[in-house]
Structure 1
Amino acid sequence: MESNPAAPATKSRRAENAELTRQAILDAARALFTERGYFQTKVGDIASEARVSVAWVHAVGGGKSGLLRTLIEDGVTTQDNARAVDSIGSITDPEELIRFIVRATRERFSQWSELMRQVSAAATQDPGVRKTQEIAYEGLRGALHLTAGRLAELGALPDTMDVPHATDLLWLHLSNTAYFLRTDELGWSLDESETWLNETLGTALLSRPADPNRANTPR
C-alpha cells in the first residue's frame, strides 16, 4: 500500500494552524485582561477578539483562569528567562551581577507590569488567580535565589549574610510589589529606579561598597 506523501505536510500545517490559533487566543486574553481587568473580561469577549469560537477558547485554556495561568507559565519559561539564568551562573564580577539582575527585572517589569497589575487586583478575590500569581512569584524568586547563591560563590556577600537573607533583600527591592511602589506610588521613572537599585543593592549585598563610577548597565 502506497503511503500518502502529502500526509506529513498536512499534519504540519494543521499543527501550525493550531499553534497560531492558540497564540491568537492568548494574545486576545492578555490584551483584554490588561484593558478591562480579569473579572470584566468574559470568555465570549476573548473568542470575539481572537475570531474563534468559545469552544476553541475552552479547548486552549479551559476558561479564563486557565488562560491566565497559561499566559504566566509561558512568561516564566521563555527563552529570555532561560538565557538570564545561564548568565547568572556565568558572571564573575559581583557588581556586574547586581547590575544584570536589576536590568533583567526592570525589563521583565516593563513587559508584564500591566497584566500583573490586574493579576494583583484579582488575586485578593479569586483563589485561582492567586495561585497563578504565585507561579510568577516563584519564577522570580527562583532567579533571585540563584543570584544570591552566585554572590555567595564569588565570596561577595558580607560575613554576616547568608543566601536566604540575600534572597530576601533582593526580593524586597526587585519584586513586582517593590516596582509598583516606586513607579505608581512614588512616581519614579524606571531609569531612576535602576540607578537607585544598583547603588542600594551594591551597598547592601557586597562585602565592599559598589563603585559609583562603574556603569549602571550590564556589560
Structure 2
Amino acid sequence: MANTTIICGAKRISVTYIVGMTQRAYTSPLRAQAAEQTRRAILNAAKALFAEQGYGRTSVAAVAAAAGVALNTVYTSVGAKPALILAMAREAAEDEQVERTVQQAADTADGREILHLTATNTSEMCGRYAETLTALLDARNNDDDVAAASDYAMRRYRQYLDIIADRLVDVDAVRPGIDRSRVRDIFWYYFGASSWATIRDLQWSLEEAASWLTNQAAEALLTTTVR
C-alpha cells in the first residue's frame, strides 16, 4: 500500500492505492453456460448429419446451418470436421456410465450379474450414441480423420471392457480352460462396437439384444449358466 498526493488547482488530494494489484479475469457463469449450449447444439447437429449423410458428404457450413449458428462459431467452439468427429468420439468413450459399469461390476461377485450389467449398460450407451456409432463405423475405412477418432473411441471402450472381463476372472466365475486373454476377446465379441452395429442393422430392440447377449456370453464363459 502507498500514498501519493495529487495537486488539483489549489487543493492537495491524498490518494491511497495498493501496489502490485492487478485486475482479476472474470468469467461469467451465464456466458460459460451459453458457450456450452452452443457447443452442444453444434455436436448434436454434426452427429445427425454425419449419421444421415455421411462424414464425407457433410460440410461445416451444413453443420452450422443445422445448429443455427454462424459458420465461424463452429470453428471457434469446436473446430473443423476432424475436431467435430473426435469430439463426438471422446464424448461417447468418456461417458460417465462406463465408469459406473466398471464400479458396479467391482461391487458384485456374481458372474451372471456382471454380464447382465455389461449388456444392459452398453446397450443404453449404444442407444444414446447411435448416431456417433453410425458415423464412426460407416466412414472409418474411407477417411483417416474418422479412422483416428474411431480408433480412439474403440481403444478406450475396449480398455473398460477388459477391466470388467478381468473382474469375471477374478471372482472365479469363468469355466476352466478359458484364460484371461480369451475372456477379454469373448467380451469384445459380444459387447464390442461391431456387435452393437450388427444389432442396429438387424433392428433388434436394445432390451432384446441385452438379454440375448447376456445369455450367449453366459453360455460361452460361465461355470454355470442358470437363467
- TM-score, structure 2 length as denominator? 0.82
1:216 corresponding residue in structure 2: none
| Residues 24-82 of structure 1: per-residue CA shift (max 9 Å, x gap) | 21122112222222122110111122222222211233211111110110222122222
| Residues 86-143 of structure 1: per-residue CA shift (max 9 Å, x gap) | 2122122111111110111211221223331232121111111011111221122112
| Change beyond 3 A, Cα 1:19–1:104 | same
Partners of 2:93 and 2:156 within 8 A in 1: yes
Whose helix proportion is higher, 1 or 2? 1
Structure 1 window deviating more from structure 2 (155-164 vs 187-196): it is 187-196
- Paired with 2:152 and 2:62, the residues of 1 have a C-alpha distance of 25
* Matching residue within 118, 134, 144 for 2:161: 144
1:93 corresponding residue in structure 2: 110
Superposition deviation, residue 202 in structure 1 = 1.0
Identity of aligned residues (%): 28
Partners of 2:119 and 2:191 within 8 A in 1: yes
1:30 corresponding residue in structure 2: 47
2:222 corresponding residue in structure 1: 206
- Paired with 2:216 and 2:91, the residues of 1 have a C-alpha distance of 31
Superposition deviation, residue 167 in structure 1 = 0.8
- Paired with 2:45 and 2:219, the residues of 1 have a C-alpha distance of 43
Superposition deviation, residue 175 in structure 1 = 1.6
What stretches of structure 1 move > 4 A for 4+ residues in a row? none
2:213 aligned with 1:197, yes or no?
yes
Partners of 1:156 and 1:206 within 8 A in 2: yes
- Residues matched between the structures, number: 209
Partners of 1:29 and 1:46 within 8 A in 2: yes
Q: How does 1:44-123 map to 2 (within 5 A)?
A: 44-123=61-140
- Paired with 1:179 and 1:22, the residues of 2 have a C-alpha distance of 27
Partners of 2:116 and 2:211 within 8 A in 1: no
Superposition deviation, residue 183 in structure 1 = 4.2
Structure 1 window deviating more from structure 2 (187-196 vs 129-138): it is 187-196
| Change beyond 3 A, Cα 1:188–1:80 | closer
One-letter amino acid of the counterpart of residue 118, structure 1: A
| Residues 140-193 of structure 1: per-residue CA shift (max 9 Å, x gap) | 2112101111011101122311221101001111122122324425x5443432
Q: How does 1:9-20 map to 2 (within 5 A)?
A: 11-20=28-37
| Change beyond 3 A, Cα 1:78–1:192 | closer
List gaps (5 residues or longer) in structure 1.
Answer: 213-219
1:129 corresponding residue in structure 2: 146
Whose strand proportion is higher, 1 or 2? 2
Partners of 2:97 and 2:121 within 8 A in 1: no
- TM-score, structure 1 length as denominator? 0.85
